[in-house]
């Protein structure tokens, strides 16, 4: 299985490459990719430097152009595809049907990967993209259980990449419009969910308040760790209950599932987090590289009694390391695990 | 301009659904979308029951469209979807299908059946529209987060490419905003999704989720999340007419839907000024998306 790591900037890209990523993915400095953050992403010169650095070390580079262009922005998105092609990326990660069509026509030799934002959740949906645009690979949404992923993998017409670690999207990606309902930006329109420009923090008598475009997302008591106000991870009221009505602030980690993912034929695991620091990318990549190498040597896993069977006992150490890097210091198997639903 | 009634988003008891459509048969809507689009576990009405309702509405002169499930997750979901899409064939009765995801697009385009798309199929630009048109798209619904400016550009491109395509706009109701593997209604009741006891049937208008300051934000409806406020573009119908919008979609609510339909009917006929809107219920409304603003905003319009 291939390890695909995030590159939010050049230092992060270099860390990922140095720590043994098989591929890295990046986006340009504009609304054409799903991680539009201030100070993040690549201009053309940095991208060229990054691609050269990766290629010299045998690491592939994917370019994410995975938001949905509207008529007013079409030229910019098409230009981003042309730019990535000219830079010599190994694959384009795309979501929009029109843009996939454009890329297939203009740059047929550059592999097309269907982004998680493309929101394909069944093998029939994957067949649609494969027949129409010849996609080579698809990234699966985080809404499927491991059994569903297994069913899908059995019949998939293309290679599959699944999320292994990082932020957990609870909604089917590519069809979540919650962010643009509260603010004027969404993942689809401009690559932003709960955008930082709309966030306000305020110390009040009732505690630290986090707001998104004025809407109170959460309120934290003294000593409580105050998380970023991602709108689906706040505490809200339903009838007389106050709780994390949609999702707790936790991260996804599928370390436990690696042997299963390999067995069912998943081609690549993806680390989320282009918005995270180079130090984070370095640590996460190192752990996952070790885990995948152990998997290759058949030394990763648990026996029937749940005992750690890695010869070095490394599994527990990796779990602990990843736990420290996670949102709320907690990880979950998310939808891969049926009980979570 | 035609009026359509979107699929029922909520889980209503079978008899409530049948009663509802008996009334719909007499309402001034031209198009009715039928079927369960949210949760595969809601099977009070089987495909045959829906087809029976479809037959009655068709006899009453409505164009009936069968709507597909939005989030397809399992092989079971695909089996139901295949059966639904078979209804588009001549043997299946030639029903028009509303594709609500790409699995449906695949099945329908493979059998070369004409189809329409709902608001959850991401058609954001002209190239997407042209490609789907080539595959059999006859009518498309503007995704909910897009503005009138994008609509205008899309309409211009349809005219320029001379595509035989109708455009539909979601103009009234709580906006469908997200779908998840998790059921939020079951979560509220602390029940596993697999054994949810169909608690969502207790909430024919969904469950309101508010901020800690009591601001109504979203409506939880099983695995779906809807807008807390009711989208209402009644005062924008004349602009839609200018923009050649063919169909205006109204999303069913359990109470007062007949009044909503009557009001839109009067407005499209010019028999009522948008300014004398009767506030039917004490509903918070929004129209931000239409103006390219946050969806929850309510912008004052001059009517």
Which chain B residues are within 8 Å of A210, Cβ to Cβ?
A: none
> DSSP state, A336?
G
Percentage of chain A exceeding pLDDT 90: 74
**Chain B positions in Cβ-Cβ contact with residue A148 (cut-off 8 Å):** 73-74
Cβ distance B77 to A122 less than 8 Å, yes or no, reads yes
Q: Is the predicted pLDDT of residue B274 greater than 90, yes or no?
A: no
A309-326 pLDDT, tens per residue? Answer: 665 678 888 888 888 887
- Whether A302 shows a pLDDT value over 80: the answer reads no
Question: Which tokens sit at A259?
Answer: 């042997």
- Measured CA to CA, the distance from residue A203 to residue A20 in angstroms comes to 43
Cβ–Cβ of B296/A178 closer than 8 Å? no
> B2-5 and B247-250: which strand pairing?
parallel
Read off the pLDDT of each residue in B95-103 and give the average, rounded to a whole number.
Answer: 98
Q: Cβ of A181 and B145 within 8 Å?
A: yes
Q: Residue B188: its chain A contacts at CB < 8 A? A: 238-239, 241, 245
DSSP-assigned beta bridge partners for residue B170: B249
B210–chain A nearest CA distance, Å: 5
Model confidence at A36, pLDDT cuts 50, 70, 90, reads confident
Answer yes or no: is B68 within a domain: yes
Q: What is the Cα–Cα distance from B81 to B72, expressed in whole angstroms?
A: 9
Structural domain span for residue B66? 2-177+231-281
Q: Report if residue B115 sits inside a domain.
A: yes
E-only strand ranges, chain A: 2-6, 23-26, 60-65, 91-94, 111-114, 137-139, 159-167, 199-204, 207-212, 215-220, 236-238, 241-243, 251-253, 268-271, 331-332
In a domain, B303, yes or no: no
Please tell me the total count of domains within chain B. Answer: 1
∠B156-B170-B76 over CA atoms, to 5°?
Answer: 110
Cβ-nearest to A72 among B105, B153, B217: B153
- Over range B124-147, report the average pLDDT: 98
Q: What HEC string does B113-161 produce?
A: CCEEECCCCCCCCHHHHHHHHHCCEEEEECCCCCCHHHHHHHHHHHHHH
Q: Which residue of B103, B127, B293 is in closest CB contact with A184? A: B293
Structure tokens at A231: 């709108």
- Among A74, A101, A175, pick the best mutation site for testing chain B contact (most B Cβ within 10 A): A175
Nearest CA in chain B to A184: B294
- Short-list B132, B139, B120, CA closest to B246: B139
In angstroms, what separates the C-alpha of A18 from chain B's closest C-alpha?
36
- State the average pLDDT over residues B252-276: 90
Indicate whether B213 belongs to any domain.
no
Q: Which residue matches tokens 């934290």?
A: A220
Structure tokens at A1: 């299985």
Residues forming beta bridges with residue A210, ordered by sequence position: A201, A218
Closest Cβ–Cβ partner in B78, B109, B120 for A175: B120
| Closest Cα in chain A, distance from residue B97 (Å) | 16
B182/A170 CB distance under 8 A: yes
Give the three-class secondary structure for A210.
strand
Among A332-341, B179-188, B214-223, the minimum mean pLDDT is found in: A332-341
CB pairs under 8 A between A and B: 215
d(CA A233, CA A227): 9
* Residue among A69, A124, A219 whose CB faces B125 most closely: A69
Asked if residue B271 belongs to a domain, the reply is yes
Instruction: Say if the Cβ atoms of A148 and B215 lie within 8 Å.
Output: no
CATH number where B269 lies: 3.20.20.150
pLDDT (average), residues A292-310 = 71
User: Which of B120, B124, B182 is the closest to A96 by Cβ?
Assistant: B124
Q: Distance, in angstroms, between A237 CA and closest chain B CA?
A: 5
Position A137 pLDDT exceeds 90? yes
CB A212 within 8 A of CB A203: no
Residue B267 lies in a domain: yes
Q: Is B187 helix (H, G, I), strand (E, B) or coil?
A: helix
Q: What is the pLDDT of residues A235-287, one digit of tens each?
A: 999 999 999 999 888 788 888 899 999 999 999 999 999 999 999 999 999 99
Q: Which SS3 state, helix, strand or coil, does residue A334 take?
A: helix
Residue of B130, B178, B193 to mutate, testing the A interface (most A Cβ within 10 Å of its Cβ): B178
Closest CA to A179 of A166, A167, A193: A193
Sheet holding A207-212, edge to edge: A199-204, A207-212, A215-220
Question: A24 forms bridges with which residues in the sheet?
Answer: A5, A61
Q: Report yes or no on B202 lying in a domain.
A: no
Inspect the interface and report whether the beta carbons of B180 and A171 lie closer than 8 Å.
Answer: yes
A121 and B207 within 8 Å at the Cβ level: the answer is: no
Of A163 and B277, the one with more pLDDT: A163
* Contacts with A259 (C-beta within 8 Å, 6 or more apart), sequence order: A295, A300, A301
Q: Which domains does chain A have, with CATH numbers?
A: 2-168+250-340 (3.20.20.70), 185-243 (no CATH)
Q: Do A121 and B120 touch (CB under 8 A)?
A: no
ipTM metric: 0.96
**Lowest-confidence region among A7-11, A36-40, A45-49:** A36-40
- The answer as to whether B199 is a domain residue is no
pLDDT at A291 over 60: yes
Q: Which residue from A minimizes the CA distance to B209?
A: A238
Query: In Å, how far from its chain's centre is CA B221?
Result: 14
Q: Which pLDDT does position B303 carry in this prediction?
A: 47
């Amino acid at each position: 299985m291939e390890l695909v790591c995030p590159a939010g900037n050049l230092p992060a890209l270099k860390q990922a490459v140095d720590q043994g990523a098989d591929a890295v993915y990046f986006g340009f400095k504009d609304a054409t990719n799903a991680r539009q953050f201030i100070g993040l992403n690549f201009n053309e010169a940095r991208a060229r430097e990054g691609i050269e650095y990766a290629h010299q070390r045998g690491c592939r580079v994917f370019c994410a152009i995975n938001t949905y262009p509207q008529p007013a922005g079409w030229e910019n998105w098409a230009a981003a595809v042309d730019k990535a092609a000219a830079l010599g990326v190994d694959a384009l990660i795309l979501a929009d049907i029109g843009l996939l069509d454009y890329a297939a026509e203009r740059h047929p030799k550059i592999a097309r990967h269907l982004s998680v934002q493309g929101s394909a959740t069944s093998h029939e949906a994957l067949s649609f993209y494969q027949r129409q645009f010849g996609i080579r690979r698809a990234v699966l949404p985080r809404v499927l259980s491991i059994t569903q992923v297994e069913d899908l993998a059995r019949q998939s017409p293309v290679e599959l990449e699944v999320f292994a670690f990082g932020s957990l999207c609870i909604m089917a990606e590519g069809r979540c419009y919650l962010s643009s309902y509260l603010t004027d930006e969404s993942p689809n329109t401009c690559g932003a969910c709960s955008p930082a420009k709309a966030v306000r923090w305020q110390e009040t008598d009732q505690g630290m308040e986090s707001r998104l475009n004025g809407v109170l997302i959460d309120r934290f008591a003294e000593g409580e760790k105050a998380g970023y106000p991602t709108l689906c991870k706040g505490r809200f009221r339903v009838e007389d209950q106050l709780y994390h009505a949609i999702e707790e602030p936790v991260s996804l980690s599928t370390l436990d599932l690696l042997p299963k993912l390999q067995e069912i034929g998943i081609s690549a695991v993806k680390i989320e987090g282009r918005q995270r620091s180079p130090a984070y990318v370095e640590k996460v990549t190192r752990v996952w590289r070790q885990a995948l190498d152990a998997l290759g040597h058949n030394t990763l896993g648990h026996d029937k009694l749940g005992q750690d069977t890695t010869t070095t006992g490394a599994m527990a150490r990796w779990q602990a390391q990843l736990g420290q890097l996670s949102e709320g210091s907690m990880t979950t198997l998310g939808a891969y695990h049926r009980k979570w639903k | 301009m035609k009026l359509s009634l979107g699929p029922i988003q909520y889980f209503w008891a079978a008899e409530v659904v049948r009663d509802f459509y008996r009334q719909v048969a007499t309402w001034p809507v031209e198009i009715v979308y039928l079927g369960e689009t949210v949760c595969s576990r809601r099977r009070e009405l089987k495909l045959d029951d829906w087809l029976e309702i479809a037959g009655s509405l068709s006899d009453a002169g409505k164009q009936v469209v069968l709507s597909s499930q939005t989030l397809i997750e399992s092989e079971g979901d695909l089996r139901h979807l295949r059966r639904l899409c078979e209804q588009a064939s001549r043997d299946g009765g030639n029903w028009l299908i509303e594709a609500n995801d790409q699995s449906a697009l695949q099945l329908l385009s493979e059998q070369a059946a004409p189809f329409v798309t709902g608001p959850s199929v991401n058609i954001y630009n002209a190239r997407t529209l042209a490609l789907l048109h080539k595959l059999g798209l006859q009518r498309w619904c503007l995704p909910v987060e897009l503005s009138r400016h994008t609509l205008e550009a899309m309409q211009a491109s349809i005219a320029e490419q001379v595509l035989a395509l109708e455009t539909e706009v979601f103009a009234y109701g709580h906006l469908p905003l997200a779908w998840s593997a998790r059921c939020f209604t079951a979560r509220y009741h602390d029940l596993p999704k697999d054994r949810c006891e169909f608690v969502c049937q207790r909430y024919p208008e969904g469950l309101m989720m508010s901020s800690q300051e009591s601001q109504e934000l979203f409506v939880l409806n099983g695995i779906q999340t809807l807008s807390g406020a009711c989208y209402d573009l009644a005062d924008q119908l004349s602009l839609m007419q200018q923009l050649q919008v063919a169909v205006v979609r109204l999303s069913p609510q359990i109470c007062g839907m007949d009044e909503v339909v009557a009001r839109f009917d009067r407005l499209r006929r010019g028999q009522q000024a948008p300014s004398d809107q009767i506030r039917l219920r004490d509903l918070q409304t929004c129209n931000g998306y239409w103006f390219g603003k946050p969806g929850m905003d309510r912008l004052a319009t001059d009517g």
